[in-house]
């Protein structure tokens, strides 16, 4: 049976052939669009002398849509230099402009109703400024340049920013960074109707989603290594983000740094080495914002999102941004229900030398009969086909409830024009209670035994970050020297109780009444007053120098970080393990720019990581293993086509101890090392006028080495497909200004489930389609309606096998929304 099963994966099933055809078509279109973009760009460059004249009428074709995108297109079509503060254009909708116009008239047309105006400067460039109440031009704050290298401005189309926060190095342009990074914007989050970080990361070819979309937690792989919400940072701080499903309505950007990042950010709580995610909170913009968005998800989950921002003071130095979200109703699978609520308040002060911010939030999440995942009890049978994506195999009483309260403050002060000091502190309290059956599949027919458990978990975190950064020239060489320190203390309290089991089948589930988990008074008391499960302290001190030579053509980044990990794990009062270890790790990176729009880079990174924690569902869940040192090698290339398009290529190698769960005993342990080597190709931005691409391809070779007795040496790691594709596109309709069609092809290769490579799940492909339409009401309000269908062909499939869990992919899902600016 085993041999037949694996031979089958080498045959070209008709559905697999259709999948490959879809992928080939998408990649071909992407290549043609990129070539078209290059030709258009070269043609535009040749016409600069003609179109630079502001008095000459030109033909403009700018559809209605986000104001920032409209301004980019006017600047591109007129070949003018245009500057605008991103804070002024954020959240605004433009009516667009069509036909023959002078550049000045075109600018004023796209700015109609925005409260902004365009002014020509003495050097021939143009700037966008707010119009005061008396009709005078308002004072322009820090200016970013549309079409130039504003670090956090988006590429054309507004989906991805031109830079992001890079840990101790601060905000940095992607072309000046010796790492592979992507920064997904609030505009993308809104347009794709993302409900959590998982939805945003579906755009990333280096990410493989681990747990179902409608589960109670976000888990995924970056570059083949597991990442959980506990390892996210919020405005650069660990221990703040809700560790379950992370709402994205409250963030301005989702920043992804691929690869080992402990040198840059400090030690991650759960030893993430495949990549890092930082969430940037929304701040009040210079223009007032009141936006109400109504949402609908299959089959009847309805929600409201209110986003309000205001600035106050003579110079608008005080800002308040409030985001409130509530959704409730049935989700895709029969009998499932999800209720969530989020309230986030972000305040800030912008002074000449002092900048302050304070963020606080409260999240609730209740998931009943959410999408499911399965264990396997052995490797002696072929994996059964995935269950029908509408059937809910979970018990009617399966539910998880969680709450998160958090707060953080940050202060930055300019000691001199070139020296800045900062301090940030924060804390979080997380509470989770769950009635969680655990299904373990026993044969290829899909029979499984479901073990019933009740679990409680509380987490308390206190975190901090402080440092100083100074710029200076020494011997004609530009230096940016940074000294920073991070600290995180976490106490985790938890326990679980198992009561009962049932034999069932993934295609014909058996439902039983809920057992009385807390019938025993002693158990009830223990679950009410949870015992300490783990206590961790992560401290680090880093010194980094960022060196720039030859007008930025050659840049070096290097430094050291002293890292210390102290951790103890407990089981109902009994200490299971403890350690307190430290190490000095290094980080090195180099960027070479042979021409302005081409960056070649390399990096070598070391990190001391806390050892892995035995995951939920294992017999030793919560046990923390000893820390280890990881290493990363990476080479890459980035090519930028003005402010329009970014193409990237990277080669990497990362290694870490391999964690596996024994199928019979459910004991989690370390067995040798997992060494991942890969190649990543990425593209983002406008490939041709009105056509945008976002996505790419990852080729991954994840191997096990130095396993016990050499039994599994050379085997492929579980949950790591050999290739992973995400390719999305957007197309603005010329015939209907303001309308945009969207699509995305998602593909993952075959994945092994076990270390011996005896079981695997087949490759899969899904297609998403959607569209949106932006317009203005007669009363002046901007309106955007959106509709998306995920998994258009309603494919039933195993999406991933991360951690030896089988995750069933979501079926056809319809999402709708309507946003109105008041």
Q: Pick from 20, 23, 21, 30: which is nearest to 683 by CA?
A: 30
Q: Is 640 exposed, middle or buried (0-12, 13-18, 19+ CB in 10 A)?
A: buried
CATH of residue 86: 3.55.50.30
- Look at the block and give the residue holding tokens 């034999």: 503
3-state secondary structure of 74: helix
Q: Pick from 288, 262, 287: which is nearest to 273 by CA?
A: 262
Write the pLDDT tens digit of every residue in 176-196.
Answer: 999 999 999 999 999 999 999
Give the CA diameter of the chain.
85
In this prediction, residue 659 carries a pLDDT of: 67
Backbone torsion region of residue 792, taken as left when φ is above 0, otherwise alpha when ψ lies between -120 and 50, otherwise beta:
alpha
In this prediction, residue 678 carries a pLDDT of: 97
Confidence of residue 55 (pLDDT cuts 50, 70, 90): low
Write the pLDDT tens digit of every residue in 334-372.
Answer: 889 999 999 999 999 999 999 999 999 999 999 999 867
85 Cβ partners below 8 Å, 6+ apart?
128, 140, 141, 142, 143, 144, 286
662 Cβ partners below 8 Å, 6+ apart?
668, 669
Pairwise CA distance, residues 319 & 309, whole Å: 7
Inside any domain, residue 156: no
Same domain, 650 and 746: yes
In this prediction, residue 95 carries a pLDDT of: 85
Choice between 618 and 736, residue whose per-residue pLDDT is larger? 736
Write the pLDDT tens digit of every residue in 90-146.
Answer: 778 888 888 788 888 889 888 988 888 888 876 677 888 887 533 344 333 333 333
Asked which of 148, 167, 186 is the last residue of a domain, the reply is: 148
Same domain, 70 and 203: no
599: which 2 tokens? 């960056």
Please name every residue paired with 309 in a beta bridge, in sequence order, or none if there are none. Answer: 289, 321
Same domain, 185 and 99: no
Same domain, 18 and 109: no
Q: Which domain holds residue 72?
A: 48-148
Write the pLDDT tens digit of every residue in 396-433.
Answer: 999 999 999 999 999 999 999 999 999 999 999 999 99
Please name every residue paired with 783 in a beta bridge, in sequence order, or none if there are none. Answer: 775, 820
Pairwise CA distance, residues 326 & 321, whole Å: 17
Asked which of 132, 148, 164 is the last residue of a domain, the reply is: 148
In this prediction, residue 766 carries a pLDDT of: 97
In this prediction, residue 123 carries a pLDDT of: 64
Q: Pick from 734, 746, 738: which is nearest to 698 by CA?
A: 746
Confidence of residue 530 (pLDDT cuts 50, 70, 90): very high
> Is the per-residue pLDDT at 311 higher than 80?
yes
In this prediction, residue 9 carries a pLDDT of: 35
Choice between 634 and 17, residue whose per-residue pLDDT is larger? 634
Query: At 489, phi and psi to the nearest 5?
Result: -120, 130
In this prediction, residue 24 carries a pLDDT of: 42
Same domain, 211 and 309: yes
Write the pLDDT tens digit of every residue in 558-574.
Answer: 999 999 989 898 988 89
Pairwise CA distance, residues 774 & 782, whole Å: 7
Pairwise CA distance, residues 791 & 797, whole Å: 11
Inside any domain, residue 407: yes
> Is the per-residue pLDDT at 769 higher than 90?
yes
In this prediction, residue 46 carries a pLDDT of: 37
In this prediction, residue 370 carries a pLDDT of: 83
Inside any domain, residue 43: no
Check residue 604 and report its DSSP letter: E
Inside any domain, residue 168: no
In this prediction, residue 664 carries a pLDDT of: 66
Pairwise CA distance, residues 217 & 229, whole Å: 8
Asked which of 148, 170, 193 is the last residue of a domain, the reply is: 148
Same domain, 137 and 247: no
Same domain, 431 and 483: yes
Inside any domain, residue 772: yes
The mean of the pLDDT values for the chain is 86
Contact 372, 808 (CB under 8 A): yes
Percent of the chain with pLDDT over 90: 59
Contact 465, 432 (CB under 8 A): no
In this prediction, residue 136 carries a pLDDT of: 40
- What number of other Cβ atoms are within 10 A of residue 82's Cβ? 22
Query: At 77, phi and psi to the nearest 5?
Result: -70, -30
Same domain, 589 and 703: yes
For the ranges 209-213, 263-267, 374-378, 458-462, the maximum mean pLDDT occurs at 458-462
Pairwise CA distance, residues 398 & 403, whole Å: 18
Same domain, 22 and 106: no
Q: What global pTM score does this model have?
A: 0.82
Number of domains in the chain: 2
- Give the residue-averaged pLDDT of 197-208: 95
Inside any domain, residue 167: no
Pairwise CA distance, residues 638 & 327, whole Å: 40
> Is the per-residue pLDDT at 523 higher than 90?
yes
Write the pLDDT tens digit of every residue in 654-695.
Answer: 988 776 666 667 777 777 788 999 999 999 999 998 999 999
Same domain, 264 and 341: yes
In this prediction, residue 617 carries a pLDDT of: 64
In this prediction, residue 105 carries a pLDDT of: 87
Q: Please tell me whether the peptide bond between 714 and the residue prior to it is cis, using omega within 30 degrees of 0.
A: no
Pairwise CA distance, residues 760 & 738, whole Å: 45
Same domain, 130 and 191: no
Inside any domain, residue 86: yes
CATH of residue 205: 2.40.170.20
Q: Is 21 exposed, middle or buried (0-12, 13-18, 19+ CB in 10 A)?
A: exposed
> Is the per-residue pLDDT at 623 higher than 90?
no
Choice between 29 and 265, residue whose per-residue pLDDT is larger? 265
Same domain, 11 and 139: no
In this prediction, residue 435 carries a pLDDT of: 92
Inside any domain, residue 158: no
């Amino acid at each position: 049976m085993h041999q037949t099963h694996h031979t089958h994966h080498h045959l070209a099933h008709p559905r697999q052939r259709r999948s490959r055809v879809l992928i080939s078509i998408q990649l071909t279109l992407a290549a043609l669009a990129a070539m078209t973009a290059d030709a258009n760009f070269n043609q535009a460059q040749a016409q600069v002398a003609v179109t630079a004249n502001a008095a000459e009428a030109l033909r403009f074709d700018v559809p209605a849509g986000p104001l920032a995108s409209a301004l980019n297109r006017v600047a591109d079509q007129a070949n003018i230099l245009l500057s605008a503060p991103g804070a002024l254009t954020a959240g605004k909708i433009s009516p667009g402009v069509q036909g023959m116009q002078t550049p000045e008239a075109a600018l004023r047309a796209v700015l109609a109703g925005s409260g902004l105006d365009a002014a020509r400067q003495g050097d021939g460039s143009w700037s966008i400024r707010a119009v005061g109440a008396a009709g005078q031009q308002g004072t322009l704050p820090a200016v970013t340049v549309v079409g130039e290298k504003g670090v956090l401005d988006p590429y054309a189309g507004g989906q991805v920013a031109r830079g992001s926060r890079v840990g101790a190095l601060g905000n940095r342009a992607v072309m000046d960074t010796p790492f592979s990074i992507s920064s997904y914007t609030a505009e993308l989050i809104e347009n794709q109707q993302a409900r959590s970080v998982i939805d945003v990361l579906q755009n990333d070819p280096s990410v493989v989603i681990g747990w179902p979309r409608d589960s109670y937690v976000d888990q995924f792989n970056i570059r083949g290594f597991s990442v959980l919400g506990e390892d996210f940072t919020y405005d650069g701080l660990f221990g703040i983000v809700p560790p379950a499903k992370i709402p994205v309505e409250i963030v301005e950007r989702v920043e992804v740094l691929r690869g080992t990042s402990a040198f840059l950010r400090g030690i991650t709580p759960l030893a993430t080495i495949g990549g890092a995610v930082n969430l940037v909170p929304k701040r009040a913009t210079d223009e007032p914002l009141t936006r109400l968005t109504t949402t609908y998800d299959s089959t009847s989950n309805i929600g409201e999102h209110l986003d309000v921002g205001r600035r106050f003071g003579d110079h608008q130095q005080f800002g308040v941004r409030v985001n409130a979200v509530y959704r409730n109703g049935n989700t895709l699978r029969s009998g499932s229900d999800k209720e969530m609520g989020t309230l986030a308040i972000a305040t800030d002060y912008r002074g000449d030398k002092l900048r302050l911010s304070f963020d606080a939030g409260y999240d609730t999440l209740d998931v009943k009969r959410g999408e499911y995942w399965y264990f396997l009890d052995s490797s002696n049978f072929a994996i059964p086909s995935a269950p029908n994506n509408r059937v809910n195999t979970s018990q009617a009483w399966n539910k998880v409830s969680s709450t998160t309260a958090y707060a953080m403050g940050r202060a930055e002060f300019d000691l001199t024009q070139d020296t800045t000091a900062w301090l940030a502190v924060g804390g979080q309290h997380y509470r989770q209670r769950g009635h969680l059956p655990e299904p373990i599949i026993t044969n290829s027919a899909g029979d499984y035994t479901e073990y019933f458990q009740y679990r409680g978990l509380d987490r308390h975190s206190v975190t901090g970050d402080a440092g100083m950064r100074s710029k200076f020239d020494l011997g004609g060489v530009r230096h940016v020297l940074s000294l920073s320190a991070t600290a995180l203390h976490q106490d985790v309290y938890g326990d679980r109780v198992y009561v009962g089991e049932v034999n069932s089948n993934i295609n014909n589930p058996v439902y039983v009444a809920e057992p009385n988990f807390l019938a025993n008074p002693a158990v009830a008391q223990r679950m009410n007053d949870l015992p300490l499960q783990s206590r961790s302290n992560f401290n680090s001190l880093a010194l980094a120098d960022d060196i720039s030579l030859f007008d930025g053509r050659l840049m070096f980044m290097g430094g050291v970080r002293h890292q210390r990990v102290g951790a103890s794990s407990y089981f109902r009062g009994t200490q299971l393990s403890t350690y307190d270890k430290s190490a000095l790790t290094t980080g090195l990176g180099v960027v070479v720019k042979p021409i302005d729009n081409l960056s070649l880079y390399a990096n070598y990174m070391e990190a001391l990581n806390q050892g892995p924690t035995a995951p939920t569902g294992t017999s030793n869940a919560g046990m923390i293993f000893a820390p280890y040192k990881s290493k990363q090698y990476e080479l890459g290339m980035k090519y930028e086509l003005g402010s329009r398009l970014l193409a990237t290529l990277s080669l990497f190698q990362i290694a870490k101890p391999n964690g596996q769960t024994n199928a019979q005993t459910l004991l989690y342990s370390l067995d040798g090392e997992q060494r991942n080597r890969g190649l990543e190709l990425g593209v983002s931005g406008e490939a041709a006028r009105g056509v945008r691409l976002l996505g790419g391809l990852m080729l991954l070779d994840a191997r096990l080495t130095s396993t016990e007795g050499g039994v599994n040496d050379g085997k492929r790691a579980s949950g790591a497909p050999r290739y992973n594709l995400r390719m999305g596109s957007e197309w603005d309709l010329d015939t209907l200004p303001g309308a945009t069609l969207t699509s995305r092809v998602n593909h993952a290769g075959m994945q092994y489930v076990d270390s011996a490579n005896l079981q695997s799940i087949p490759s899969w492909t899904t297609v998403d389609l959607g569209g949106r339409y932006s317009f203005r009401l007669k009363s002046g309000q901007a309106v955007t309606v959106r509709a998306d269908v995920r998994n258009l062909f309603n494919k039933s499939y195993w999406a991933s096998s991360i951690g030896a869990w089988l995750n069933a992919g979501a079926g056809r899902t319809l999402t709708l929304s309507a946003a109105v600016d008041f």
